[in-house]
Amino acid sequence: MNTKQTIAIIGATGNVGTFISKSLSKGNYRLLLLGNQPDKLEALYEEIRNASPEADIEIYGCPTEASWEADIIILTVPYGSQQEIAEKIREVANQKMVISIANPLNEPYDRLATVSGTSAAEELQKLLPNSKVVKAFNIVFPAAFAKPILVGKKADSFIS
Amino acid sequence: MYEVFFSKFNEKVQLSESEEYAVKQFLTPKKLRKRQYLLQEGDICKTVAFIEKGAMRSYIVDSNGQEHIFSFALEGWAIGDLSSFLTEQISTQNIDALENCELVLISKYAHDQMLISVPKYATFFRILMTEAYIALQKRTLSIISMSLDDRYKSFIDQYPDIVQRVPQHMIASHMGLSPETLSRIRSRIGKSQ
């Protein structure tokens, strides 16, 4: 696609979020970075700028504003935060693609928080009924990300 | 987010509350910064945009690299490459924002769904098309039969807001004139008033 897409990455300071931000910054996208740790966000911004000076990236504070501008929204927040963020972006994410990478782990990270029969992405889809929720990148643990992955094309992750 | 859109909609076709709700499910709210593209040539035009706030233009670039502006759109107007949108063929048009914009996008998917599930949307679309066709007819006739001065007068009569918001060289391009020619026309008209 020639037309530059705007992608909001909510949770850019997490492991997966950082990785995705850096990968996508090499593509033809306008990236809006959001995270709850301002210094980590700044550091990420600087790092991307240094690696790709022409990268079209901006730090945003408000997930609603960012999602309003975005064509695609990537949620790289823990499962526990999913609902809160979904509420904030539901209206402005109408008819947009929302990519979720949450593995629905409970707090001690020792088992799934979702009840059997449903998945984090399915629950997100219920919270965002008019968005196209896509689940991706959630099989490989964040620390294991080694190869660049472009959204939609991957070496060893699955997108459903 | 959708005030201007539904105001225009209801102007043409009255919607009940439930019908408005039904349409709302299919709308994509979008913000575009000044100079950002909605569509670049070589892509298929996947959405039509209604302008809540702001101004946009569509243009093509010829083989000499020169821009030719096809249309402008302000609040309450729609813009898109209709041909590419309906036929899903590659567009030769570029559509970008002249100011920061708040848009209501209707994707091809949403459009096709609404045609089936919201009958009044079909009426709305038909009315938009007929109005656009009539405007295009008027414009073609003015191009082939009117003097440049009269063409310009007619344009600013019909679309006074555009002249306020759009730089002169773009109006010249839209009229198929060089900026110098338009300048001369404007001073001629200015002197005669």
Chain A residues with beta carbon closer than 8 angstroms to that of B94: none
pLDDT digits (tens, 9 = 90+) for A72-85: 999 999 888 899 99
Distance from C-alpha of A154 to C-alpha of A151, rounded to nearest angstrom: 7
How high does pLDDT run on average in chain B? 96
Average pLDDT over residues A121-144: 76
Q: What is the value of ipTM here, to two decimals?
A: 0.92
Q: Which of A4, A60, A94, A96 would you mutate first to test chain B, the one with the most B CBs within 10 A?
A: A94
- Most B CBs within 10 Å: which of A2, A64, A98, as the mutation test of the B interface? A2
Residue A95, chain B, CB below 8 Å: the answer is: yes
CB proximity A156 to B under 8 Å: no
Domain B3-119 architecture? Sandwich (2.60)
User: Considering its fold, how many domains does chain A have in total?
Assistant: 1
pLDDT confidence of residue A110 = 56
Does residue B155 have a pLDDT over 60? yes
Across the interface, of A3, A92, A130, the residue whose CB is closest to B37 is: A3
Domain boundaries, chain B: 3-119
Closest CA to B167 of B70, B62, B93, B57: B57
**Per-residue pLDDT at A142 exceeds 50:** no
The rounded percent of chain A whose pLDDT value lies above 70 is 74
In-domain check, residue A37:
yes
The answer to whether residue A122 is domain-embedded is: yes
Q: In this structure, what CATH number is given to the domain that contains residue A102?
A: 3.40.50.720
Q: Name the residue in chain B with its Cα closest to that of A89.
A: B29
* Per-residue pLDDT reduced to its tens digit, A41-80: 999 999 999 999 999 999 999 999 999 999 999 999 988 8
| Inter-chain CB proximity B31 and A4 less than 8 Å | no
E runs forming strands in chain A: 5-10, 29-34, 56-59, 72-75, 97-100, 132-135
Which pLDDT does position A141 carry in this prediction? Answer: 45
Query: How much is the average pLDDT of B111-122?
Result: 97
Q: How far apart are CA A114 and CA A132, in angstroms?
A: 20
Rounded distance between C-alpha atoms, residue A134 and residue A36, angstroms: 23
Max Cα–Cα distance, chain A, nearest Å: 46
- pLDDT band of A138, cuts 50, 70, 90: low
Angle of CA points A60, A63, A69, to nearest 5°: 75
